[in-house]
Amino acid sequence: MARRPAVARPAVGASLLLLLLGGHATAQAGTAGPTTSLGKAGGVAYVTAKFENVYDPAGPPAECPGARDALGGGGRVSGQTNAGRMTTVAPISTAGEGWLAEGRVLGMSAGQTVHAFAACGRTEAQYETSSVGLSSGFAVGLSAICPGGTKVTGGGVSGNGGELVIHRSIPIDGGDIDTTPDDGWSTYVTNTSGGSVTVTSYAVCAGSLKLRYAFAPKAVAPTSAGKATAGCPKGTVVVGGGFNGPDEGLLHASIPKDTKDAGKVPEDGWFARLHNPGANPATVTTHATCLKP
């Protein structure tokens, strides 16, 4: 298990986050739906699942078919960006069976639907983790590093049943001789739970794959929604992705994306959307990991 030192600190804008993220009087409702196929491209199977009428943190697992491993995944909450946000976007476990996404509503918003997405390949993946205990109201950055001879395909973060605000979840360079962000996965979160939680950052790693890494930044106005799509190069398909946003940003979606090609399979890139509740302009940068079959 590869790790980097983690230093927790009081979250920037913690008082604003706690005010915006006040609990909802109604508990979560509904049930997780079955996993459904979104199609295949480049040897990768794309699947999704949904959990309807969510209030408090809840969401579905999107399970990979057959003997496939999850190379990456994401999640989305329905409605306006100021009505809900994601709290967990991570592998179901280190066994590789799929991806888990959890979200909640904000304030007194109506129940929303949380969607999970997984990109599943026939390549055997390895899952590295890095964990730390985090007190309520504090933020921490964690990185999970891939073993030598492998490259990162995707990653995510979870809070062991607690409630996190996800500010960053991206591929990173580990300081080797190049600057390609293929060595691990970095996350940065704030704990808005009532008590301490164990935060775990995940890196999905695989060898013998031809991978490309793309990113796309976009400006986000104060108290507004922002979005960006990182497109994969021609001849490649997306297998994972993430985003980097402001400290006060609220993640609304981080998912594989279909663009304006002839099909509807979401293999063309990665899409991220968030809400910037702060008084200052910010930037959202979307990252995509792309596989050449």
pLDDT digits (tens, 9 = 90+) for 73-104: 999 999 999 999 999 999 999 999 999 999 99
> What are the strands of the beta sheet with 184-191, ordered from one edge?
9-10, 138-145, 184-191, 164-172, 237-244, 282-291, 211-220
- Sign of the torsion angle spanned by Cα atoms 160, 163, 169, 173: negative
**Residue 257, domain member (yes or no):** no
**Residue 265, domain member (yes or no):** no
Provide the terminal-to-terminal Cα distance of the chain, rounded to the nearest Å: 28
Exposed/middle/buried for residue 22 (C-beta within 10 Å: 0-12, 13-18, 19+): exposed
**Residue 290, domain member (yes or no):** no
Predicted local confidence at residue 202, as pLDDT: 98
**Residue 121, domain member (yes or no):** yes
Q: Which residues pair with 190 in a beta bridge?
A: 139, 165
Task: Give the C-alpha separation, 167 to 189, whole Å.
Answer: 5
Predicted local confidence at residue 71, as pLDDT: 98
**Residue 51, domain member (yes or no):** yes
Backbone angles phi, psi at 116, to 5 degrees: -115, 150
What is the number of domains present in the chain? Answer: 1
Q: What is the pTM of this model?
A: 0.92
Task: Give the C-alpha separation, 30 to 51, whole Å.
Answer: 7
**Residue 268, domain member (yes or no):** no
**Residue 126, domain member (yes or no):** yes
Which residue segment(s) compose the domain that 87 sits in?
9-208
Predicted local confidence at residue 28, as pLDDT: 57
**Residue 15, domain member (yes or no):** yes
Which regions in the chain score pLDDT beneath 50?
1-5, 12, 14-20, 22-26
How big is the CA angle at 159 (ends 175 and 123), to the nearest 5 degrees?
55
Predicted local confidence at residue 32, as pLDDT: 86
Query: Contact, 60 vs 32, CB < 8 A?
Result: yes
